[in-house]
Copies of this chain bind each other. A is one copy, B any other.
Amino acid sequence: MLSIIPIREIPLVKPGDDLSGLLLDALTANEMTLQDGDILVLAQKIVSKAENRFFNLGEVIPSERALDLAAKTEKDPRMVELVLRESSEVLRFRPGTVIVEHRLGFICANAGIDHSNVDGPYGNPEDWVLLLPENPEQSANAIRERIAAVTRVSLGVMIIDSHGRAWRTGTVGVAIGLAGLPGLVDLRGHEDMFGFRLRITQVAAADELAAAASLVMGQADERVPAVLVRGFPYALREGSLQELLRPKNLDLFR
């Protein structure tokens, strides 16, 4: 059985907060004891806040390129400037949306910059946006090491965001950084019980778990920015976001 358990009682996270400490406190408050093989899944937002990835739009001076793209997309040029700074390539755009390759390697809308739910450190809240963590995988690894040291448990930690998709509507949770769990699980070479090679050879296990976790975090008014996963069906190992990124030259939809 796979259980996705909401971790409640996490306070609002502020820049400089010790996120691992907040998580450990919340686990205690929820009377949850970590076990070997558990995975903690964290919403990107609390990691970004703890790392003070806030930007004040009032301090952003848009480039010519940003002004041009902002006109074409009917977006705030300062926001577009930040999107471009956070991206390595613009794939597509239309009014309201810019689809980019984020500097971290994945494809997403608006470079994952959040303008909806940002209580900035000071001043007019409408001026503040929140960028993705500088290096989510490094963040996940640091949190994992800290929590493992305190609890003496072998666990995985994953940071997720919600992404739109080609072809299908709505957003789904996806991994943007992982520590101590596989991104892909390779079933190539396995035979099914009839002796045939399996058609589906590589499962994006971390992304499937990210979607499951996102479902439980789901409704923002419930304030569940982290979940505990018990019963992940594959062996934990060192893993990386890189496993989940399709090389550009092998992508039919770039």
Contacts and interface: CB of A to CB of B under 8 A. Distances in A.
Task: List the number of copies, as a whole number.
Answer: 2
Leading 7 A-B pairs by shortest Cβ distance: A170-B204, A116-B199, A212-B212, A211-B211, A166-B253, A92-B252, A107-B167
Contacts of A2: 3-4, 212, 215-216
A170 B242 CA distance: 12
A72 interface: no
Interface in A95-111: 97, 99, 106-107
A192 B97 CA distance: 22
Given A116-B198, A118-B196, A202-B169, A4 B212 contact: yes
Given A99-B252, A116-B198, A203-B171, A223 B184 contact: no
Interface in A205-230: 205, 207-212, 214-216, 218-221, 223
A1 interface: yes
Given A171-B203, A244-B169, A196 B252 contact: no
A188 to B, nearest CB: 12
A50 interface: no
Contacts of A172: 203-204, 207-208, 211
Interface residues of A, number: 73
24 contacts: A2-B3, A2-B216, A3-B3, A3-B4, A4-B212, A106-B168, A116-B196, A116-B197, A116-B199, A117-B199, A125-B194, A125-B196, A162-B203, A165-B166, A167-B254, A168-B174, A170-B183, A170-B202, A170-B203, A170-B205, A173-B208, A203-B215, A208-B215, A209-B215
Interface in A144-187: 162, 165-174, 183-185, 187
A4 B232 CA distance: 11
A119 interface: yes
